[in-house]
Amino acid sequence: MEKGYVYLIGAGPGDPGLMTVKGKRCLAEADTVVYDRLVNNRILSWVRSDAKLIYAGKRPDHHTLKQNEINQVLVDEALQGKVVVRLKGGDPYVFGRGGEEAEALFNEGIPFEVVPGITSAIAVPSYAGIPVTHRTLTSTFTVITGHEDPMKEDSQINWPRLATDPGTLIFLMGVERLPKIVSQLVSNGKDPETPAALIQWGTRPQQKTAVGTLETIVEAVARAGITSPAIIIVGAVVNMRGVLGWFEKKPLFGQSILVTRAREQASAFSELIERAGGEALEAPTIIIDSNDEDPALINAVHNTAGYDWIVFTSVNGVEAFFNCMAKEGIDIRALGNARICAIGPKTRERLAARGLIVEALPERFIAEGVIDMLKPLVKTGDRVLVPRSDLARATLIEALNSLGCEVNEVIAYHTRSCQSFDEDIIDRLKAHTITIITLTSSSTARNLMALVEDRALLDNMVFASIGPATTATLRSYGIEPQIEAKEYTIRGLYDAIVEYCQKAE
């Protein structure tokens, strides 16, 4: 068997957007991913569904793999001919022991590649509004491990030199040793009035910053409740925070938002949330399955020219319908003179990408809006094709029939419930660290209720609904959503969430 290949990849400091393009591409190739505690779960969602995940980080309820054991895992997986990714927070070679892992691979003759990551030493201060260098303040910075005991006699850290260094000092992972770090700096001559800051969970929506001086920082950190993971930054650049702070001003900063859409659709919504400074937790409650072997759908795609109207009620319907056409080898020109109606701008955009002009787009993106739009356009006897979900409401079909249309409703795709949430999501619900739950359809609402057996976990939760139909479903479970989109689209739901959060400040 040929030996595999190992990528040592830096995942960056936490914000998934700071993962490099190359790192993401290599991750998509992986058969096995060995990852650390500080790797954002959103990054893990980019891994292939059939890939093997091995946790190698430190958490109170998980056994910690020792470094030699991690090295052996990489070797063993690669010797099976697999593409292996070692995914590490920050950069593999900045206090990440990536050099030891690469050395172990070299000794076994296993080919490897290092994909650098953005280190927390520069990214985390940036997100807190602190530049590590500034032309008028300092031209140098030093990165120091915070793991070493500052009081040990054989220290590899030159404390007298650091104490007299006019540049910025950055200690990684040194929260527990903060009092000793401060003591060493001051006792070796550093001015107690030197500005200092600690930043916990930097670049994430949970980011928390404490600012003071070497004399006051220990007390400031205790008041703020800052614990690991955090970095320490010492120097005049800390005073720039009041001017350069930007991340904590974003409209969804501090919000952890549960996205319950099907995984194929979740990414666009998650990106909107993350751009606004929020955390998107993808926990699909539904799965979309193709129905392209159904004789009724196949017959419909073979006879599209016989219809006066085709009504697409969702992006899923568009994709499923035209995928079936492609599978059957039918040219899009077979649609003939059929006129197109769509519910929602995203559905229209997906049709436009296929070169199709939508003649009817309702003002209200629900079945009732479609009827209002089509009433003056359809006539008795018009043949109307409606490809849609197996769980769609009957309202549209009943109304079209009442207008004298000959309606053919075909199931383009099935919507089924996920069997469970990831354990991490349940843990977050139990810890009350999710701030908003979003529901983008009645089926996501119903399936959420089925997946969360302990309803007490949803108490005092903020719910965001995409529109009246979804709101009605939530109310049937005794839940009144605090947020409802004015425009029944993902963008409309996002706008409503931002408006709610800004009013709550």
Using a 10 angstrom Cβ sphere, with 0-12 exposed, 13-18 middle and 19 or more buried, the burial of residue 273 is buried
Q: Which of 3, 24, 52, 173 is catalytic?
A: 173
| Cα–Cα distance for residue pair 476/377, rounded to 1 Å | 35
Tokens of 479: 């839940």
Cβ-defined contacts of 470-477 (< 8 Å, 24+) = 470/439, 470/440, 470/441, 470/442, 470/444, 470/445, 472/442, 473/439, 473/442, 473/445, 473/446, 474/439, 474/445, 477/445, 477/449
Does 36 qualify as catalytic in the annotation?
yes
- Distances in Å between the Cα of 258 and the Cα atoms of 365, 379, 472 are 23, 44, 20
**8-state DSSP, 134:** B
HSE-up of residue 39 (Cα within 13 Å, Cβ side): 30
8 A C-beta contact, residue 371 and residue 400: yes
Tell me how far apart the 2 most distant CA atoms of the chain are, in Å: 93
Contacts (Cβ under 8 Å, ≥6 apart) of 103: none
Rounded Cα gap, residues 372 and 443, in angstroms: 24
Rounded Cα gap, residues 63 and 396, in angstroms: 55
Neighbours of 142 (CB within 10 A): 17
Strand order in the sheet with 436-439: 279-282, 256-259, 436-439, 462-465, 483-484
* Catalytic (active site) residue 495: no
Catalytic residue from among 3, 24, 36, 422: 36
- CA dist list (Å): 494 to 255, 349, 498: 13, 18, 6
- What's phi and psi for 164, nearest 5 deg? -100, 0
Tokens linked to 476: 């049937």
Distance CA 352, CA 291 (A): 23
For residue 333, the 8-state DSSP code is G
Q: Which residues make beta-bridge pairs with 407? A: 384
Q: 10 Å Cβ neighbour count for 158?
A: 12
Cβ atoms of 185 and 159 within 8 Å: the answer is yes
Q: What three-state secondary structure class fits 417? A: strand
Would you call 503 a catalytic residue per the annotation?
Answer: no
Positions marked catalytic: 36, 58, 173
